Structure 1
Amino acid sequence: MNVKHGLGTKRYCNSDIFEGSWREGVQEGLGKYTWSNGNLYVGNWKSGKMCGRGVMKWENGDLFDGFWLDGMKHGSGFHRFADGSHFFGTWSRGLKDGRGVFYPPESKHPFLGIWYESLTSLDGLQGVPFHGELRNSFRDKKLRPNRSISHKWPMRSLLKCSGRISNRTTFHHSWILGDSYGPSLGNTRGYSSYSEDHVPVYEREYAQGVLIMEEVRNATCGLPDRINRLQMVRPKDTRRPCKTIIKGDKSYYLMLNLQLGIRYTVGKITPVPMREVRSSDFGPRARIRMYFPRKGSQFTPSHYSVGFFWEDYCPMVFRNLREMFKLDAADYMMSICDGDSLKELSSPGKSGSIFYLSQDERFIIKTLRKSELKILLKMLPAYYNHVGAYENTLITKFFGLHRITLNGRRKVRFVVMGNMFCTELRIHRRYDLKGSSQGRSTDWCKIDENTTLKDLDLPYIFYLEKSWHESFFKQIFVDCMFLESQRIIDYSLLLGLHFRAPEHLKSLREYQDTAQCCGSSQATDTPLPSKGLLLVTHEPNSSYTTPGLHIRGSTLRASSVGNEEVDLLLPDAGRLRVQLGVNMPAQASWKPQSNERPESTGFYLGVYDVVLYFGIIDILQGYNARKKVEHALKSLRFDPMTISAVEPKLYAKRFIGFLEKVFQERD
C-alpha cells in the first residue's frame, strides 16, 4: 500500500538517519536512529517512538541504558554521565521517580562488562561475531542472526542469550531483559571490586524528579548487599517482584491449563441468558467439570500441556459478579488468556500461596489451600449479597474460583481477584495494615522498593477531606461487620501510596540547602505547607488512564468544587476518577518512628501530597481451632491485644481503631 514495511534505512532531509524495522509506515521493532547533532539511539520502537529496552547516547557523552515509553525514560535503567558518574534507578515519563543509587566519578560502580561496553559504544556491534544460540524468551525457539541488518550481531534486546561474543576477548554471559544490567562472571555476580578508599556513594529517592531523600553510604560498608535490595541492579531473580512465565519454568504448563480452562468456561457460560442466582447456584456441588486430554476431544481443543481435569465453581454466581463489577467477558478472557504469558509474583505473606499477574496487570490469580476454598464457598452467598448492597465496598473483588487436577492426584485451587494497584501511577510504598503490633515490622536490610511493609513501619498520618473521611469509615465499619459475621480474622488493609512532588518541594529543598550552608540549625524544622492536588468537576465521558476494574461505585464529591463529583487532574497522567480507595488524593504527614533506620541521614519533608489506593484483602482465614490454640500460646508470652490471632469481634474493633489513628479528618 505504498508505505514502509519491513527492514530498511531512511535518510531525512535534516541529515537524521534511521536504520531498522518499519511497520505500516512508522518505526516499529528494533532500530538505530542517528541525529544530525550526534545523538544516537539503539533499541526498540513502537508507533514511531522509542519504547521498550534501548540505549541512548548523547553527543556530550551522557548515556542511558534502560526502558522507554513514548520517547521518554520510563522504568528501570542507568544513566552514565559525561564526568564518569553513574545513577542506577527508575524513571516515570522522563523524570526520576523512586529509589536509586548514585556513584560519583571517583567511586567504583557495579561492573557492566564487555557486553555493556560493546553495546554502548554502538560501533562495537559492527562485525562482532556471535557464537552460541538465541532463544525467544516466550517460545524458547532457536533463532538465527538476522543478516538483513548491517550488524552481524542482531539487535534483539528481547532475547535470552546463552553463548559468547568474541572480539579479542572471550565473554561468557547469560541475561534476560529486565533481570540484570550486568553479566555474571564467575562468582562476582556482575560486580567489580569496590575501592578501598572511603569514597561515598548515595542512595536516593525521587518523586517526579524531585529529590526527597538521600542517604550517604561508604563503599567499604557492605554496599553490595544494600545495592542488591534495588531491583534495577539486582543480578539474581530470587526476589524480583514479578517474572514472566516462559517455557521451561515450573509453572508454565500449569499456567497453560489455567488459561485454557478459563477460556472454556467463560465462553460457555457467557451466552446463557442473565437470570437471578438461586440457592442451587452456590456450594461445592454447583460446578462445571471437564476433562482436557492433550489430543483434544469433542468438546475441548488440543493443547501442548498434559491432560487435566478442570472444575469451575459456582459459574453462574461469578458470571453475575463480573456483570455486577461491570467487567466485560471478552475483556476478562483477553486479559488472562490472550496468548500472553502470566507473570509470577513473589508471595508477600507467609501463606506460601503462589500469585500470578495478568500481562495488563488488571487481575491477580492466587492459589488457595483446601481450607480457604471451603471458606470462600461457604461465605459466597453472603459475599454476593454484600457486594450487591454496597457498591463502594472495599473488600476484595472475586471474579472466579477454579480447581485443576493433574495426573489424577495433585489438585491446585485458584481464585481470580482484581488488582488494587492497577494504575499508571507509580506506587512508591505498599503497606499491609492489620492493627496488631506483635511481629508487625520489617527488617530494614530486607526492604526494597517492592517490599510490602507492615503496621510498625508506617510513619505517616493521612488527612482526608471531611466527607471522604466519613464515607471511608462508614464503609470500613460495614465491611468489618460482614467479616465478623462470617467469623473471619487476619484480614488487612492493603495500602498503596503514590507521592507527588509539586513545585514548592523544589523551593523547600533549595531553602534547606541554603540554610545549611549558612549554618542554620532550623533548616529541617520549617517545612512549607502542602498546596494540595488539583480536583476538577467530573466528566462522565472523558477517557481515564486507569483501566476499568474500578468503574463500579460512586464518584466522590468534594466541597472545593461545590460538592460536585470530582476527577483528579495530574499533568503526567490526565484525569483520574476519584472513588473510595481509588485515586484518592490526601495529605500525608511524616513523623519519625522509633524503628527508623539509625544510620539514615536522609532528607525528609513534613507534609506530602499523596494519591491513595487501598482495599481489604486476605478475607479467607476463619477463627478456627488452630487459631484459638495460637492465641492461647502467644498470650503466654505477649500482650493478648498485640497479637494477630484474636476472636473476630475484637479483631474488627482493633482494626477499625488502628485505622482511625492513621486516617484523620482534614481541617
Structure 2
Amino acid sequence: MLLFRANNTKRNSLECLKCPTAAAHDVLTRTTSSALKGAIQLGIGYTVGNLTSKPDRDVLMQDFYVVESVFLPSEGSNLTPAHHYPDFRFKTYAPLAFRYFRDLFGIKPDDYLYSLVNEPLIELVNPGASGSLFYLTSDDEFIIKTVQHKEAKFLQRLLPGYYMNLNQNPRTLLPKFYGLYCIQSGGINIRLVVMNNVLPRSVKMHYKYDLKGSTYKRRASRKEREKACPTYKDLDFQDMHNGLYFDAETYNNLMKTLQRDCRVLESFKIMDYSLLLGVHVLDQSHRDLGDSGQAGGDGRRPVGQRVLYSTAMESIQGDGRAAEALTTDDTMGGIPARTHKDEKLFIFLGIIDILQSYRFIKKLEHSWKALVYDGDSVSVHRPGFYASRFLKFMSTQVFRKTQCKLGGGTGKQCVTWCMHNAAGFLKERSILPAPLHSDTSTPYATFLSPSELVSGSELYDRIAPIFLLHQ
C-alpha cells in the first residue's frame, strides 16, 4: 500500500481536499500511516531547519500570505535528503508568522524540531466524525491534524486577526496554532495543522466531553459509548454530572476567559465550535492505583513543560498568581475542581473546531433544521446566538462556584475562614513557607497576623489555591 496515489493516476479522479469529505477520507484511509508520518516529519524537519537561517524581524501583513514550497524526491537532491517515500512536495504557509506564534509561547526551534521529528508520531483514534487524522508527539506537547481545503483557507484568512488577539492576550482557551503545512504527491493534497494538545496522554481522563451548548443530537451514540474512552456530549453531561465546582476566583477567571474567547470567535463569524473537556477523578485514580499499582494515563510521568500557557490553569484569565502557586506536579496541568458530592477533580479543557465560518452553506443548514426541529436547539446557528447559548450553558450547567460549607460565604471568604481555623493542616503538610516565628513548634496561625491572610495579600494568594486543592 502506497503513501500516495501513483503519479500516472488521473488528476480528476481525486482532487483530495477540493471535494474533502469523500475524497480525502478515501485517500487517507488507504494511506500507509507510518509512511505519512515519516513524510510529515521529513517535511517539517527540513522547513523549520531552513527557517532558522532567516533573521528575526517584525511580522508584516504580507507574511501571512506567503507560501513556501520545496520538492523532496526520493533519491534526494543538493538541498534535500534521500528518503524511502514516493516523491512529494512540501508546502509551508506563513512560515514567519507561525515562527512568531511559536516564539510567543516560548517554543524554541530546537524544541519544536525535537518534539515533532525526534520520536515517531503517535496516531490517535479520531474522536469525531470529521474523517481527520490526528497525530500526537511523544512528549504530549503537540497535535497534528489533517484539515480540509476550506478549513486551511479559512485559517489563512484568520491569521492576521489571530496574530493581533494572541499579541494582546496569550492566556486563551482558543486553539494555539503553531504551523500549517501541505503534502502534495500524485495530484493529492494533504493539509496539516500543528496545534496545542488539550488532553495530555500522561493523565487518565475518566470522562471526556465535546460540549456545544445545544441539545439536538447531542448525545453520544451507542457505538461511541462502547469505546474504551468515549467522548460524551451535552445531554450526557447533564445526565452524569450536576456541574463542576470551582472556587470563586477560578470560576470567575474561567468564565472571563470563555467570554473573551467567544467575543473573538463571534467577531470572525465563527460558530459550531466545541469545548473539549477532560475530567480526571483523583479518588478514582487512587483506587486504580491500589488495584493495579499504576495510576491513570499510560503510566508515564509528564515531561518537563516547554510551552508557555500550555496548561489549563495557565490558559485562563487572571493575574497569574493563583496559577503560579500551583505547580504542574500538584495538578498535572489541570484545574482543581470538585463534584457536587465533593469528589476531587482535575479539569483539562480547550475550545476546538473553530475553523467553521457561518457562510451560505451553514445558513442554509440552520434554516432547514429550524423547519424540522426547534431552531434554538440545533448546533448550527448564527455566531452571536451561538456564543450566547454556549456561554449560558457553560456558566449554568457545566461550571459552578463552590459554596463554603464551613465558614459561610464563597470563594475567598471561605478560604480565609478555613485558613484561620486550619493551623494543624497547614503545619502538617508544610504548605506554608519557612515559619515567620523562631519557635517552630508554635502553630502557624499563632504568628500569622490577620492582615497577612487578607484577600489579595501576597501570602494569601500563595496559600489559597493550594489549600483548596488539598482540603
Query: Given the two structures, how large is their TM-score scaled by the length of structure 1?
Result: 0.50
Q: Using the alignment, how far apart are the partners of 1:546 and 1:437 within structure 2?
A: 40
Tell me, yes or no, if structure 1 residue 392 matches structure 2 residue 171: yes
Q: Using the alignment, how far apart are the partners of 1:622 and 1:410 within structure 2?
A: 25
- SS of 2:347's equivalent in the other structure is strand
> CA offsets, 1:606-644, max 9 Å, x none?
332100010111000111111111111111111001101
Tell me, yes or no, if structure 1 residue 294 matches structure 2 residue 52: no
Q: 1:563 to 1:364 in 2, by over 3 A?
A: closer
Q: Give the share of equivalent positions with the same residue, in percent.
A: 35
Q: Using the alignment, how far apart are the partners of 2:286 and 2:137 within structure 1?
A: 38
Structure 2 counterpart of 1:327: 107
Tell me, yes or no, if structure 1 residue 649 matches structure 2 residue 360: no
Q: Using the alignment, how far apart are the partners of 2:162 and 2:228 within structure 1?
A: 34
> CA offsets, 1:216-241, max 9 Å, x none?
xxxxxxxxxxxxxxxxxxxxxxxxxx
Paired residues for 1:142-541 under 5 Å? 250-283=32-65, 286-338=66-118, 340-407=119-186, 409-422=187-200, 424-444=202-222, 446-447=224-225, 448-458=227-237, 459-460=240-241, 461-501=243-283
Long gaps (5+) in structure 1: 1-244, 507-542, 590-605
1:587 to 317, 320, 338: 338
- SS of 1:636's equivalent in the other structure is helix
Task: Name the count of aligned residue pairs.
Answer: 354
Q: Name the aligned partner's letter for residue 621 of structure 1.
A: Q
Q: Using the alignment, how far apart are the partners of 1:348 and 1:614 within structure 2?
A: 15
Structure 2 counterpart of 1:171: none
Structure 2 counterpart of 1:176: none
Structure 2 counterpart of 1:624: 359
Q: Is the 8 A contact 1:427 1:497 kept in 2?
A: yes
Deviation at 1:442, TM superposition (A): 1.2
Q: Name the aligned partner's letter for residue 171 of structure 2.
A: N
Structure 2 counterpart of 1:566: 325
- SS of 1:488's equivalent in the other structure is coil
> CA offsets, 1:341-396, max 9 Å, x none?
32222221122111112223321111111100111000111111111211211101
Larger radius of gyration: 1
Quick check: which one's strand share is greater? 1
Structure 1 counterpart of 2:10: none
> CA offsets, 1:459-513, max 9 Å, x none?
220111111111111111111111111111111110011101189999xxxxxxx
Q: Using the alignment, how far apart are the partners of 1:556 and 1:630 within structure 2?
A: 33
- SS of 1:453's equivalent in the other structure is coil
Q: 1:651 to 1:349 in 2, by over 3 A?
A: same
Structure 1 counterpart of 2:344: 609
Deviation at 1:444, TM superposition (A): 4.5
Q: Using the alignment, how far apart are the partners of 1:563 and 1:257 within structure 2?
A: 42
Q: Name the aligned partner's letter for residue 120 of structure 2.
A: S
Q: Using the alignment, how far apart are the partners of 1:556 and 1:368 within structure 2?
A: 24
Q: Using the alignment, how far apart are the partners of 1:441 and 1:609 within structure 2?
A: 26
Q: Using the alignment, how far apart are the partners of 2:216 and 2:251 within structure 1?
A: 28
Q: 1:373 to 1:445 in 2, by over 3 A?
A: closer
Q: Name the aligned partner's letter for residue 47 of structure 2.
A: T
Q: Is the 8 A contact 1:327 1:549 kept in 2?
A: yes
Deviation at 1:254, TM superposition (A): 2.0
Supply the RMSD in Å over aligned alpha carbons: 2.8
Q: Name the aligned partner's letter for residue 575 of structure 1.
A: D
> CA offsets, 1:581-628, max 9 Å, x none?
x42100122xxxxxxxxxxxxxxxx33210001011100011111111
Q: 1:358 to 1:503 in 2, by over 3 A?
A: closer
Quick check: which one's helix share is greater? 2
- SS of 1:282's equivalent in the other structure is helix
Q: Using the alignment, how far apart are the partners of 2:201 and 2:327 within structure 1?
A: 13
> CA offsets, 1:427-453, max 9 Å, x none?
111101100110110134641331111
Q: Using the alignment, how far apart are the partners of 2:159 and 2:190 within structure 1?
A: 20
Deviation at 1:272, TM superposition (A): 2.2
Q: Is the 8 A contact 2:170 2:309 kept in 1?
A: no
Structure 1 counterpart of 2:402: 666
Deviation at 1:271, TM superposition (A): 3.3
Q: Using the alignment, how far apart are the partners of 1:640 and 1:659 within structure 2?
A: 20
Paired residues for 1:73-84 under 5 Å? none
> CA offsets, 1:100-132, max 9 Å, x none?
xxxxxxxxxxxxxxxxxxxxxxxxxxxxxxxxx
Query: Given the two structures, how large is their TM-score scaled by the length of structure 2?
Result: 0.70
Q: Using the alignment, how far apart are the partners of 2:287 and 2:192 within structure 1?
A: 45
Q: Name the aligned partner's letter for residue 584 of structure 1.
A: I
1:575 to 313, 327, 330: 330
Long gaps (5+) in structure 2: 1-27, 289-300, 404-471
- SS of 1:627's equivalent in the other structure is helix
